[in-house]
Amino acid sequence: MERWIEHYSSSQEILLVGEGDFSFSACLARAFGHASNMVATSLDSQESLWGKHPSCVSHLNELRQRGCLVLHDVDVHDMDLHYFLSWKKFDVIIFNFPHAGFYPGLGESHFQVIEMHRQLLRGFFASAQVMLYSGGEIHVTTRDDFPYNTWDVEELADEASLVLTEKVWFEKSDYPGYRNKRGGNIDSNKSFPLGESYTFKFEVESDYGY
Ligand SMILES: C[S@@+](CC[C@H](N)C(=O)[O-])C[C@H]1O[C@@H](n2cnc3c(N)ncnc32)[C@H](O)[C@@H]1O
């Protein structure tokens, strides 16, 4: 029986990238009852993840028990070339709260920091768009208030020939157990305010009738 949680269904092949403590992936897995349709990944190695997010241990155990493939050291810039991911296609690729890290002395509104976040998204979009089934979707959930809105997610997606199909208010409580994490190297395990957060859904332009 197909089971849904918000935009996601147990019958979709789902790739999650840039996970923090894997609580979002674990939430989907619980909602589906199994996770054999999911690949959940982090940039961090397993060892570094344990240090940054001690809460990942129970989520990773749950994911594996439910049949999820968990991969570490997956960089969104070249994930399409990854030894396992290179031959797989997905219906949905999810990156929640992409963030290129923190730089002492430089605030989030500094142009160099903004450019680093933009570069991360550029790399993600370019790599993700070749990993989709026809009609597949890329979902980026991010804050859409200042200074995060200066990243201009839609413009970056457009550069990768992706078209915005929907922009939906993100409600954290819709995802029981999900704890959004700062990541990076400073206070990694802390949460952060979600401000005005939205899920931006993109499709490849040619699949969308352009
Ligand atoms: C603000 S945290 C959000 C973590 C998690 N998605 C969440 O919602 O709690 C940003 C995440 O982006 C990841 N990240 C940064 N650069 C990345 C890259 N090049 N490839 C994959 N993930 C990356 C970090 O490891 C970190 O986990």
Q: Could you report the per-residue pLDDT of 91-126, keeping only the tens digit for each? A: 999 999 999 998 888 999 999 999 999 999 999 999
Question: To the nearest whole number, what is the mean pLDDT of the chain?
Answer: 96
- Residue 137 one-letter amino acid: E
Residue 118 CA to ligand 1 centre (angstroms): 13
In CATH terms, 10-208 corresponds, of 2.130.10.10, 3.40.190.10, 3.40.50.150, 3.40.640.10, to 3.40.50.150
Structure confidence at residue 206 (pLDDT)? 85
Q: How large is the angle between the packed helices 56-65 and 23-32, nearest 10 degrees?
A: 30
CA-atom Rg of the chain in angstroms: 16
Residue 139 CA to ligand 1 centre (angstroms): 14
Q: Could you report the per-residue pLDDT of 118-152, keeping only the tens digit for each? A: 999 999 999 999 999 999 999 999 999 999 999 99
175 has a pLDDT exceeding 80: yes
User: What's the Cα-to-Cα distance from 70 to each of 29, 63, 76, 132, 193, rounded to whole Å?
Assistant: 12, 8, 15, 19, 27
Q: Could you report the per-residue pLDDT of 46-57, keeping only the tens digit for each? A: 999 999 999 999
- Our answer on whether the CB atom of 120 is closer than 6 Å to any ligand 1 atom is yes
- Our answer on whether the CB atom of 128 is closer than 6 Å to any ligand 1 atom is no
Q: Are 189 and 21 in contact (CB under 8 A)?
A: yes
Of 148, 131, 51, the C-alpha closest to 92 is 131
